[in-house]
Amino acid sequence: MLSRVAANQPSAVDQGSPAPSPLVRLRWVLWGSVLLLGVVAGVAIFALRPSSQPAAVSSDTGVSWAAGVRRAPGFALTDQAGKAVSLAAYRGRPVIVTFIDPLCRNLCPLEAKVLNDIVRGLPAASRPAILAVSTNVYGNARVNLVQDVRKWKLVPQWRWAVGGGPQLASVWKHYQVQVLVTTKTIAGVTVHEIAHTEAAFVVDSAGYQRALYLYPFRAQDVERTLRSLG
């Protein structure tokens, strides 16, 4: 995903260094941008490294872990209503943790539609929460978040998770999500270009990661994982 954000002052966000991932082959889609290509290629290298984690099961659409193997990193941020939102608050129900740019107008809305379809396709009693961690520190104003809720027709289970640069960078790092900010000046206006990994994690009711899906993923594959959690 690549988006541009105009701002008054350039700024950099510390991304941190990702830890090794399980030895898996994941499909990456390159979307016509040298900037995004660099991000995706970098993540793919880590995805092919061996890991000290117990073995994961991979497929064409994602990678999955057995119960109790991989604890989902916790985080506490703020939602679109200005209220506290945390992963721990959802213990006892499944959660999809995804990473979305609120100002994106290309891939992120498409991924949001798939996530909406996933929730709507499940029985009401077993629908997961969606925690959408922002990948754009310049796009976290409430007006942007509320506009996306309306324009993207987001399900009630969707909650944005936003915060300051260091807070968000810590979450990105722990989930091994790559976010790259490039700043340039166009006609006297400072513009921030945002590229990031399009990832969605399925977290079970006990707080463990059970699957990772990289966009473009299919709603039915994620639904299958959620149904298997019982």
What digits encode the pLDDT tens for the residues 145-162? Answer: 999 999 999 999 999 999
* Chain mean pLDDT for the chain: 82
Q: Tell which wins on pLDDT, 7 or 110.
A: 110
> What is the model's pLDDT at position 40?
39
d(CA 169, CA 163): 10
How many Å apart are CA 8 and CA 192, to the nearest integer?
10
Architecture of the domain delimited by 2-228: 3-Layer(aba) Sandwich (3.40)
- List phi, psi (to 5°) of 121: -80, -5
Higher pLDDT, 30 or 86: 86
Mean pLDDT of 14-20: 42
The span from the CA of 172 to the CA of 103, in Å, is 18
| Per-residue pLDDT band at 226 (split at 50, 70, 90) | very high
What per-residue confidence (pLDDT) applies to 230?
Answer: 76
Residue type, 161: A
**φ/ψ (deg, to 5) at 54:** -55, 155
Instruction: Please determine, for residue 23, whether its predicted confidence score (pLDDT) is greater than 90.
Output: no
Check the CA dihedral 64-70-71-75 and report its sign: negative
Percentage of the chain surpassing pLDDT 90?
Answer: 71
- Please give the pLDDT value at position 1: 57
- Say yes or no to pLDDT of 27 above 70: no
Q: What are the structural domain ranges in the chain?
A: 2-228
- Quick one: pLDDT band at residue 122, thresholds 50, 70, 90? very high
The alpha-helical segments, DSSP class H, found in 88-154 are: 107-120, 142-151
Q: Measured between alpha carbons, how far is 108 from 122 in angstroms, rounded to an integer?
A: 22
Question: For the whole model, what pTM was predicted?
Answer: 0.79
Q: pLDDT for 173-188, tens place per residue?
A: 999 999 999 999 999 9
